[in-house]
């Protein structure tokens, strides 16, 4: 079975990852529309453009002939929102994002424009998937694109949970070295944030964020016997992590109901 797919990203319309994903899906027979930022918009989170116009331009010649592609001046979330609200004549069956250049695991998910683009689809009630390749320079997206096609074959026609949002990370190794596929929970990635102070050509001070990643990897298991996404990538597994945009911490809600001052404020 085939599907109508809307594809976005945060690396920009000319990134190799989105070309690999869109072309692979088109070659598999899916109806593909691409709407991506006109330049790299990594780590923009779920930001939206509110105080300036958003422009969209049709792009020809860099994708499979069956792919309809647009370049958008906005953020990754803008791209999906604009596509659904103005550029498409009907909603897609799925929203895909990626393939990102670099992993989106652990707490990086909170900053990720790739995940946020997919999340925008979920907010609109569409099943959505974010794809990332766990390498920041490798141009080899074939393994990740092939897995994306295989995954879509499984999902098309399947009854999916409401607000389905799946975060997929693929290790940057040859196909024969992929250890398998694992459902994984979100891990933890911490950074030693270091701001380098520099001078521009006019002698004015500016700062450049240059911290290093401090990856927290435990044995990857909890009471549900789930590995973390960080663990999975380090052990050459493709990780599948279902996410949700609803952030209420219900455990704390129940705890706070027992606090006397909270009860007093509610009276």
Can you tell me whether residue 56 is helix, strand or coil?
Answer: strand
For the 4-187+222-255 domain, the top CATH level (class) is alpha beta
Strand 56-59 to strand 68-72: parallel, antiparallel, or no bridges (unpaired)? antiparallel
Q: Does 223 score more than 50 pLDDT? A: no
Mean pLDDT for 128-136 is 96
* Whether pTM exceeds 0.95: no
84-93, 183-192, 225-234, 238-247: which range is least confident on average? 183-192
Q: Does 217 score more than 80 pLDDT? A: no
Encoded tokens for 126: 């569409």
Contacts 24+ apart (CB under 8 A), 220-228: 220/184, 220/187, 222/185, 224/185, 226/183, 226/184, 226/185, 227/182, 227/184, 227/185, 228/105, 228/106, 228/184, 228/185, 228/186, 228/187, 228/188
Q: Does 6 score more than 90 pLDDT? A: yes
For residue 41, which of 126, 86, 101 has the smallest C-alpha distance? Answer: 101
110: exposed, middle or buried (Cβ count in 10 Å: 0-12, 13-18, 19+): middle
Q: Does 203 score more than 90 pLDDT? A: no
pLDDT band at 260 (very low <50, low <70, confident <90, very high): confident
Task: Please check whether residue 102 is in contact with residue 71, taking contact to mean a CB–CB distance below 8 angstroms.
Answer: no
Q: Token match 């109806």: residue?
A: 31
For residue 7, which of 37, 46, 29 has the smallest C-alpha distance? Answer: 37
């Amino acid at each position: 079975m085939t599907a109508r797919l809307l594809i976005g990203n945060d690396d920009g319309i000319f990134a190799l990852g989105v070309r690999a994903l869109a072309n692979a899906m088109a070659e598999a027979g899916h109806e593909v529309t691409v709407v991506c930022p006109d330049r790299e918009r990594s780590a923009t989170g779920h930001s939206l453009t509110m105080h300036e116009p958003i422009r969209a331009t049709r792009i020809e010649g860099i994708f499979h002939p069956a792919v309809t592609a647009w370049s958008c001046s906005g953020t990754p979330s803008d791209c999906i929102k604009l596509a659904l609200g103005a550029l498409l004549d009907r909603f897609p069956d799925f929203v895909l994002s990626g393939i990102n250049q670099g992993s989106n695991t652990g707490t990086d998910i909170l900053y990720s424009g790739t995940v946020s683009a997919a999340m925008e689809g979920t907010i609109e009630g569409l099943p959505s998937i974010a794809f990332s390749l766990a390498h920041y320079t490798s141009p080899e997206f074939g393994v990740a694109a092939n897995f994306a096609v295989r995954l879509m074959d499984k999902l098309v026609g399947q009854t999916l949970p409401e607000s389905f949002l799946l975060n997929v990370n693929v290790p940057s190794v040859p196909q024969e070295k992929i250890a398998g596929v694992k459902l994984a929970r979100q891990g933890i990635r911490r950074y030693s944030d270091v701001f380098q102070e520099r001078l521009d050509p006019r002698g004015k001070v500016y700062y450049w964020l240059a911290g290093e990643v401090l990856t927290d990897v435990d044995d990857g298991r909890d009471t549900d016997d789930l590995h973390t996404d960080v663990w999975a990538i380090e052990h050459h597994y493709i990780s599948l992590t279902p996410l949700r945009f609803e952030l209420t911490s219900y455990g704390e809600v129940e705890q706070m109901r027992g606090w006397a001052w909270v009860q007093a404020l509610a009276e």
